[in-house]
Structure 1
Amino acid sequence: MPDPDEGFARLWDAHYDDVLGYALRRTDHETARDVAAETFLIAWRRRDDVPADRPFPWLLHVARNVLANEARGDRRRGRLRGRLRGDRATAEPVADIATGLTEGGRIITALRRLSPRDREVLQLIGWEELDPRDAAIVAGCSAKAFSVRLHRARKRLAAVLAELDAEDRPAPVPSLQRSV
């Protein structure tokens, strides 16, 4: 009979850094480490549910859920702090327009303007380099549904990038020539 500790150690060795990287691209370093640790704690508790042939998408799906729980907790704590201070609403952080000066900043700015769902779909393909089938597992949907989401997210990203390009173009300067 295989040793469950040995199998888990192999799972950890093979995927911890990638799960941590996934979390780091979505949150701060300290939270990312907590997310990775929680993901593997869940994997340990649910060892029998981890698919032997494709464990990485399953782990990312778990990490995605852990991140979502963390975000919900942060929002609840923020609302509570606001109520304790007497604030009516808390403002969303404003994107730094200066980051749009470089291509990487331009993409980040564009991604920030998309819905969280569109961002996640594009990041699973672009950042995590998953194929649509594995990304669908992470997103918790069928491969066909994921492909539709990906197509739509790419179209929306292209539209946002076009908007950013239009915002960056300088206004036309009127001609100083005199007509005779």
Structure 2
Amino acid sequence: MVREHSAALVRYFARRGPRQDAEDLAAEVLAVAWRRRDDVPLEAVLPWLYRTAGFTLANHRRKLIDLPVDEVPETGTVRVSEHPELSALFDAELRGALESVGERDRQILLLHAWEGLDGTELAEVLGISRSGSDAALSRARKRLQEAWTERLSF
């Protein structure tokens, strides 16, 4: 599991928070997976890890909120130069559109776009049915398109 999925977990965290914390957070998820190895579905290991990663990231962010302001790491200051295709995500217009769609829609869109999850895997991460995940992705895409169009019209 570690050899197969640790790089994907590090990328997941590096895209969503301070890059310096990505490896530690990925290790934390893998430790949870080890402790709960009987609960990890063999047919959906990576989606289970991503779901756990979402909870781990939320907990990490709550801890950051408790830090004094001068200790909170800046977000969005490091561009993803080694992945040029991702640098577009640091564009202020797109970042603003993504921020306006809401946390759940943003999670769905990024799991689909960055992690390549679709259909059954996305449903597994979200804890909903396959048809529910398809509908959620469709709605999230529509909201992003509307937010993008609204931002461009100003």
Q: Taking CA–CA contacts closer than 8 Å with sequence separation of 6 or more, which of the two structures ends up with the larger relative contact order?
A: 2
Q: Separation in 2 of the partners of 1:148 and 1:126?
A: 16
TM-score normalised by L of structure 1: 0.69
1:25–1:103 CA distance, 2 compared to 1 (3 A): closer
Q: Separation in 1 of the partners of 2:129 and 2:58?
A: 20
Q: Separation in 2 of the partners of 1:103 and 1:12?
A: 30
Q: Separation in 1 of the partners of 2:88 and 2:64?
A: 30
1:25 aligned residue (15, 38, 44): 15
2:114 aligned residue (124, 127, 150): 127
Q: Secondary structure at the match of 1:47?
A: coil
Q: Which residue of 2 is the match for residue 49 of structure 1? A: 39
1:157–1:19 CA distance, 2 compared to 1 (3 A): same
Q: Separation in 2 of the partners of 1:103 and 1:67?
A: 23
**Code of the aligned partner of 1:49:** D
Q: Secondary structure at the match of 2:5?
A: helix
**How high is the sequence identity, in percent, across the aligned residues?**
36
Q: Which residue of 1 is the match for residue 53 of structure 2? A: 63
The structure having more radius of gyration, on CA atoms, is 1
**Code of the aligned partner of 2:33:** A
Contact 1:39–1:59, Cα closer than 8 Å, also in 2: yes
1:21–1:103 CA distance, 2 compared to 1 (3 A): closer
Q: Which residue of 2 is the match for residue 164 of structure 1? A: 151
The Cα of 1:145 is off from its aligned counterpart by: 2.1
Q: Separation in 1 of the partners of 2:138 and 2:42?
A: 30
The Cα of 1:46 is off from its aligned counterpart by: 1.1
The Cα of 1:141 is off from its aligned counterpart by: 2.1
TM-score normalised by L of structure 2: 0.80
2:100 aligned residue (110, 113, 123): 113
**Code of the aligned partner of 1:161:** W
Q: Separation in 2 of the partners of 1:123 and 1:137?
A: 15
